[in-house]
Amino acid sequence: MSRKIILDCDPGHDDAVALLLAQANPSVELLAVTTVAGNQSLPKVTHNALGIAEVAGITAPIAAGAAGPLVRAARFAGEIHGASGLDGVSLPEPSVALDPRHAVDLIVELVMSHEPGEITLVPTGPLTNIALAVRREPRIVDRVREVVLMGGAARTGNRTPVAEFNILFDPEAADVVFSAGWRVTMAGLDVTHQAVATPDVARRVAAIGGRKADFVVELLEAFGRAYRDVQGFDAPPVHDPVAVAVVIAPELFEIVPAPIAVELTGTHTTGMTVVDLRPWVPRDVPTRVVLGLDRGRFWDLVVDAVR
């Protein structure tokens, strides 16, 4: 049976790939797409989500959520994703109407209207909407099957030496999510930096042909330019579809139970996800970290989704 998911995102080049994968793979059923400020402002990422839905054929409701972090000022990722959040990519004008509900309301309604254990939350942006949903209706913690998120790092950050962008954007929200007591699987930079879109990947996608393939090739080229210019990568790490792939095929990943805490007050470490990998620490915890992947089989999933 397919896993029912809500994809909470801030599109974003890599969010676009995550949306394509979630829509096309038969192992997951995309119940809703919710947007949150992160890579760019809420109006921009919501517009991008609606345009991506046109390309991907997404018919699930799309609802806009939080316009900024719980307590901090927003700091968008324009240096990577550009002024639009999807610079360098041609998006069709959306014909899909935005759902009138707030994303948090939609998340709560869907979780509470399904049986416990049916819905998995897949956040690929800052965790503001998920934290607000927990505060709005704490009972969702016992009803959600799992939270599989893209964010954080067990070792090295990207926004700072120790903090990854999504977590640093709203560390207070991340703290709520990681400490809620439900099962959380963190697919952070340790694994997503292994999911690089090499020229061979782009060639495989281009060989498919058609609207979706052309769209993905275009966004990989734009994403690759940004990562070369800003972070010196030879090929761009495509972060967000990794979280979707963990839901689809967990056997492709090295997943380790480990205590995870979010640093909120450190002078140099705010936003750090402190992952305790010491071998003698008890592993009977609800939090897990993804440390490795089968890169070839991961890209097979993505290419098949485009096809």
Backbone angles phi, psi at 284, to 5 degrees: -85, 65
Q: Which of 47, 81, 239, 268 is an active site residue?
A: 239
Whether residue 141 contacts residue 134, with contact meaning beta carbons closer than 8 Å, is answered with yes
Q: Which residues contact 173 (CB under 8 A, 6 or more apart)?
A: 69, 70, 126, 127, 128, 130, 131, 132
The secondary structure of residue 237, as a DSSP letter, is: B
For tokens 């930079």, what's the residue?
189
Residue 114 known to be catalytic: no
What's residue 95's pLDDT? 87
DSSP, collapsed to helix, strand or coil, labels residue 227 as helix
Total residues found in the chain within this entry: 307
Question: For the whole prediction, is pTM greater than 0.75?
Answer: yes
CB 51 within 8 A of CB 93: yes
- pLDDT score for 96: 84
> In this predicted structure, what is the pLDDT of residue 163?
98
Give 83: exposed, middle or buried? Use CB within 10 Å, 0-12, 13-18, 19+.
Answer: exposed
* 58 close to 15: Cβ distance less than 8 angstroms: no
Domains and CATH numbers, the chain: 3-306 (3.90.245.10)
pLDDT < 50: residue spans in the chain? none
The pLDDT score that the predictor gives to residue 18 is 98
pLDDT of residue 119: 98
Cis peptide before 12 (omega within 30 of 0): yes
- Residue 84: the pLDDT is 96
The CA distance from 294 to 136, in Å, is 38
Distance in angstroms (rounded) separating the CA atoms of residues 44 and 181 = 33
β-pairing, 119-123 with 273-275? unpaired
Distances (CA, A) of 41 to 68, 84, 97, 224, 272: 8, 9, 19, 22, 23
